């Protein structure tokens, strides 16, 4: 090799190394963000199949089992309204790391919980941490990929990770409960949390930036939602008192949000027809889907007396279609606008719910598993288009806020659905199941009618 070739090679090496290092850093950031999002999605579904085992070990009745699920869901949903702003103020990387640490420690506390109250308290902390992780994980993906095409693929991978986690949740919950114990559904989060934190070491640090926080609005929202859920689950005189608190806190929330310069939920957002329709449809889908996963988890184990593992496997045909159908629905929404796939998906889900009315204790479990497929198919066809409708209806600078409102509404509705359906099946399982199915079908029928008001592809916001 000649001497004049050496400097040239030495000059080329750094230029090649820098892009390679940047690609590695972006890939590690995406992996950490995807795992974080998948982890919090998994915890929303993995616990359902473990509920009978939790009830047996801790002596929990139906209301206690409802709180095990809803403590996480409500904390997650209510605080998601503000954690996007918190992520901006703290910096996405710092917020994501903090949320992951707290979530992992709370998971350990859940697994070690000596009684029901301790478990529910730790689930609340999990939900708070999950609300921080979600917006911070997506912000990290956006920061890691500056090229729009690569960023779109990265965001799609991030979303697919969450869908896959939801699909695998019941199966993982059943397997861990059967092979290990119900505490295993929480302890499994510990090594995943450790991997995420190790990956974050290579992720670039995010710059904090000013972002307004609406603490009065956030506080009144938490009180209203918690009191409403308490009223539904507990019932009786205490329930009526909680309902009164929910009404007062809800009125205070509306008043506060109408006068804040930077409200956590801008009420004017709902004057847009597409926004109101998307939130309503998303809420109805969450009531139907999460409510039925909760009820049928109990049905397979408490009514039909199957093991947790078998119950989890019975959900696999239902949940396995979700990720694939989501992709198809997104493509349909991109080509034809959100109205068409929503007008197809919601009736399919309604038909699925009505067919399930004929299920009873003697129905073969594999047949029940097959009958759950139309519900999952219809919901999966509906969610990506309604999200697109929401995003098309708002300016680009309000897209993050709109997404937070939509996701919070869906989580809250799912939690309330579980509360209502749990109360219904507690008074007689098969009768309560049929009423729950009828309520879900009625809600989706209403939002199906509302979906006709959505604009076609020609009228979409640029």
Mean pLDDT of the chain, nearest integer: 82
CA distances (Å), origin 64, targets 8, 54, 116, 325 = 70, 10, 7, 34
C-alpha–C-alpha distance, residues 359 and 440, integer Å:
16
Query: pTM score > 0.85 for this model?
Result: no
C-alpha count within 13 angstroms, C-beta hemisphere, residue 216: 13
The one-character DSSP state at 362 is: T
Going by pLDDT thresholds of 50, 70 and 90, the confidence category of residue 209 is: low
Going by pLDDT thresholds of 50, 70 and 90, the confidence category of residue 267 is: confident
Using the CB atoms, write b or e for 261-280: b if 16+ within 10 Å: eebbbbeebeeeebbbbbbb
Name the packing angle between helices 92-112 and 62-90 (round to 10°): 160
Going by pLDDT thresholds of 50, 70 and 90, the confidence category of residue 444 is: very high
pLDDT tens for each residue of 303-343: 998 888 898 889 888 887 877 787 788 778 777 888 888 89
The closest of 256, 260, 238 to 248, measured between CA atoms, is: 256
Burial class of 150 by CB neighbour count within 10 A (0 to 12, 13 to 18, 19+) = middle
Q: Is the pLDDT of residue 373 over 50?
A: yes
C-alpha–C-alpha distance, residues 310 and 313, integer Å:
5
The closest of 306, 38, 39 to 178, measured between CA atoms, is: 306
């Amino acid at each position: 090799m000649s001497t004049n070739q050496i400097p040239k090679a030495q000059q080329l090496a750094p230029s090649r190394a820098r892009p390679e290092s940047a690609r590695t850093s972006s890939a590690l950031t995406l992996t950490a963000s995807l795992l974080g999002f998948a982890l919090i999605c998994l915890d929303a579904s993995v616990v359902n199949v473990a509920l009978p085992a939790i009830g047996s070990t801790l002596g929990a009745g139906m209301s206690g089992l409802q709180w095990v699920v809803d403590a996480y869901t409500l904390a997650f949903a209510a605080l998601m309204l503000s954690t996007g702003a918190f992520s901006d103020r703290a910096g996405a990387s710092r917020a994501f790391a903090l949320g992951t640490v707290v979530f992992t420690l709370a998971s350990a506390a859940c697994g070690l919980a000596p009684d029901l109250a301790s478990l529910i308290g730790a689930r609340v902390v999990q939900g708070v941490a999950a609300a921080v992780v979600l917006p911070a994980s997506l912000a990290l993906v956006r920061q890691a990929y500056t090229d729009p095409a690569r960023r779109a693929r990265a965001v799609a991978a991030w979303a697919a990770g969450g869908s896959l986690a939801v699909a695998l949740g019941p199966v993982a919950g059943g397997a861990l409960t059967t092979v290990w114990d119900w505490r295993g559904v929480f302890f499994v989060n510990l090594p995943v949390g450790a991997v995420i934190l190790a990956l974050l070491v290579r992720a670039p640090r995010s710059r904090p930036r000013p972002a307004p926080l609406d603490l009065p609005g956030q506080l009144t929202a938490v009180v209203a939602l918690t009191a409403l859920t308490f009223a539904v689950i507990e019932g009786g005189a205490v329930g009526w008192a909680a309902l009164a608190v929910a009404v007062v806190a809800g009125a205070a929330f509306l008043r506060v949000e109408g006068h804040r310069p930077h409200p956590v939920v801008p009420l004017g957002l709902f004057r847009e027809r597409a926004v109101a329709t998307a939130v309503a449809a998303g809420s109805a889908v969450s009531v139907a889907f999460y409510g039925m996963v909760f009820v049928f988890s109990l049905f397979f184990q408490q009514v039909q007396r199957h093991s947790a593992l078998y119950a989890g496997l019975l959900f696999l045909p239902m949940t396995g279609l979700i990720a694939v159908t989501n992709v198809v629905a997104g493509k349909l929404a991109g080509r034809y606008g959100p109205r068409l796939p929503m007008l197809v998906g919601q009736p399919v889900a309604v038909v699925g719910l009505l067919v399930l009315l004929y299920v009873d204790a003697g129905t073969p479990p594999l047949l029940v598993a097959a009958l759950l497929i139309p519900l999952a198919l219809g919901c999966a066809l509906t969610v990506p288009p309604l999200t697109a409708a929401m995003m098309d209806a708002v300016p680009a600078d309000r897209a993050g806020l709109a997404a937070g409102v939509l996701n919070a509404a869906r989580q809250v509705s799912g939690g309330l659905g579980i509360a209502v359906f749990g109360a219904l099946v507690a008074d007689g399982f098969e009768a309560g199941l049929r009423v729950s199915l009828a309520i879900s079908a009625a809600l989706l029928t209403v939002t199906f009618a509302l979906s006709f008001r959505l604009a076609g592809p020609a009228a979409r916001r640029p």
